[in-house]
Structure 1
Amino acid sequence: MDLPADSSEPSGEQPGPGLRADAERNRERILAAARRLYAGHGLDVSMACIAREAGVGKATLSRRFATREELINAVFADRMDAYAAAVAEALADPDPWHGFTGYVQAVCAMQAADRGFAEVLAMTFPAAKALEKRRAEAYHSFLDLIARAKATGHLRNDFTDQDMVILLMANAGVIAASQDAAPDTWRRLVGQMLRAYATPGADLPPLEPAPTPTALYRAMVRLTRSAPGPEGSKG
């Protein structure tokens, strides 16, 4: 459900210092609101809902961010920088296998900390040029990390970069389903997947305990009953 346009918004704005300051304040309010909503509800939050959370009209939101992709690009630029930095840190590790396992854990932890970013890493946004450029840079560094980890003999030769994409997609789903009832479930998933990627005898981080049957049942009930995020649509 969309909200009615804010009829109090001025029309025929004239440029000036005051207007520029107001425009910047509105932009920051919109970004802060979008970060909160995306982090808690994922990307299925409508632009109208973000405008309401920010306390601005839909017309103001449209002037600052003409499309959903533009807003996503602005909201997640810093997180994509952190994502790229995680690859660089892994490549700097003198033990490539340790760097690989640390990278997988770090990126999945980023997903767990922000549901919106969990979805961003599992999707692609061709219109968000800066976001996709940073993703591409991180991807090429990850290919280097894979090659180095395989050279240690600890990463299976049949592991491919597509396996990481599959993990990110699976992790996003686990986070969305279990974040309230069993919020650490993703750690178990990542630990088990690292064991699937490793060759026999490879050093691995301790495996996190499995969630209790009760917690998993509650997560399954929540998933069954859950409705779309605020306002439902992405428009």
Structure 2
Amino acid sequence: MTEPGSTEPDTAEPTLRKDAALNRERLIEAGRDLFAKRGLSATLNDVARHAGVGVGTAYRRFANKDELIDAILERQNQEMEAVLRSALAEPDPWDGLVLYMERASAIQAVDRGMSQIFTGRHSCKVSYDETRDRLAPLVDEVAARARNSGQLRTDVTGTDLIFIQVALSAVATVALDGHQPTDRQDTSELYHRYLWILLDGLRADRDPSPLPVPPLSVDDTHELLRTEA
């Protein structure tokens, strides 16, 4: 505090705000790193230790682990939105679809926590609905551009692209958690093989088989993927 009548600036409060913001950022980055390696079973105490801050500091920035996960989800939404907008900026709609699928799958393949969040295994209704409202229209647009150009099967929708990513996340999880073959160093890239098999199946210039089940709507997709905590 400054003395009455003093013209000295009170720097204590700005310093506290700066420290609080820095600690919050440390916790978000530490949470992303720890959840990526261990999944969402890691606790807020674990994250605090990983960030190098006190447990009390962690709980001042985030009331519980779910609040931290929501903050990480917001950061991931920003990154995925950037990927989608890059895909939509591609002159060739098929190249845009491939860019989106490759980058999104690559991000999820190395991040257990994001894979769990993406498949709805840990997020509250409000934050997950925000993800749907923010990203689903862009995914739909990626699919629509490729359909309208005649490159994507006419019966494939944006929600189909989402479920392909869910399937690839499962492949990536098996590759991360399974016993590694001694003569292979590329199992972390196994999902990429199946991505390209699936991409070939999405092309309109093939002779497609009729699909036995219609696609889900956006709302139905996110209802199915979301589980209540």
* 131-140 or 44-53: bigger deviation: 131-140
Task: Give CA-to-partner distance per residue, 1:149-199, whole Å, 9 cap, x none.
Answer: 112222112212222221222222222221373111110121111122122
Corresponding residue number in structure 1 for 2:83: 86
Corresponding residue number in structure 1 for 2:173: 176
Specify the SS of the correspondent of 2:188: coil
- Residues 36 and 112 in structure 2, CA contact (< 8 A), matched pair in contact too: yes
- Residues 125 and 132 in structure 1, CA contact (< 8 A), matched pair in contact too: no
- Structure 1 vs Structure 2: percent identity of aligned residues? 32
Larger relative contact order (CA 8 Å, sep ≥ 6): 1
* 189-198 or 51-60: bigger deviation: 51-60
Counting only pairs closer than 5 Å after superposition, residues 128-143 of structure 1 correspond to structure 2 as: 129=127, 132-133=129-130, 135-143=132-140
The alpha-carbon distance between structure 1 residues 195 and 127, as it changes in their structure 2 partners (threshold 3 A), is same
CA RMSD of the aligned region, Å? 2.7
CA distance in 2, matches of 1:127, 1:178: 30
Corresponding residue number in structure 2 for 1:125: 123
TM-score of the pair, normalised by structure 2? 0.70
Q: Which AA in structure 1 matches 2:29?
A: A
- Residues 27 and 47 in structure 2, CA contact (< 8 A), matched pair in contact too: yes
CA distance in 2, matches of 1:197, 1:44: 35
1:116 aligns with 2:113: yes
CA distance in 2, matches of 1:61, 1:128: 23
Which of 164, 167, 178 does residue 167 from structure 1 map onto? 164
Which of 194, 203, 218 does residue 189 from structure 1 map onto? 194
Task: Name structure 1 gaps, 5 residues minimum.
Answer: 1-14, 203-234
The alpha-carbon distance between structure 1 residues 52 and 100, as it changes in their structure 2 partners (threshold 3 A), is same
The Cα of 1:135 is off from its aligned counterpart by 4.6
Specify the SS of the correspondent of 1:155: coil
1:103 aligns with 2:100: yes
Q: Which AA in structure 1 matches 2:191?
A: W
The Cα of 1:59 is off from its aligned counterpart by 3.3
Task: Give CA-to-partner distance per residue, 1:115-147, whole Å, 9 cap, x none.
Answer: 322333222734564x75355222102212212
Counting only pairs closer than 5 Å after superposition, residues 189-228 of structure 1 correspond to structure 2 as: 189-201=194-206
Counting only pairs closer than 5 Å after superposition, residues 67-78 of structure 1 correspond to structure 2 as: 67-78=64-75
- Residues 144 and 157 in structure 2, CA contact (< 8 A), matched pair in contact too: no
CA distance in 2, matches of 1:69, 1:122: 16
Task: Give CA-to-partner distance per residue, 1:19-68, whole Å, 9 cap, x none.
Answer: 44443343233223212201212222222221222233433322211133
| Residue-pair matches, total | 188
Corresponding residue number in structure 1 for 2:39: 42
Q: Which has the larger radius of gyration?
A: 2
CA distance in 2, matches of 1:21, 1:140: 36
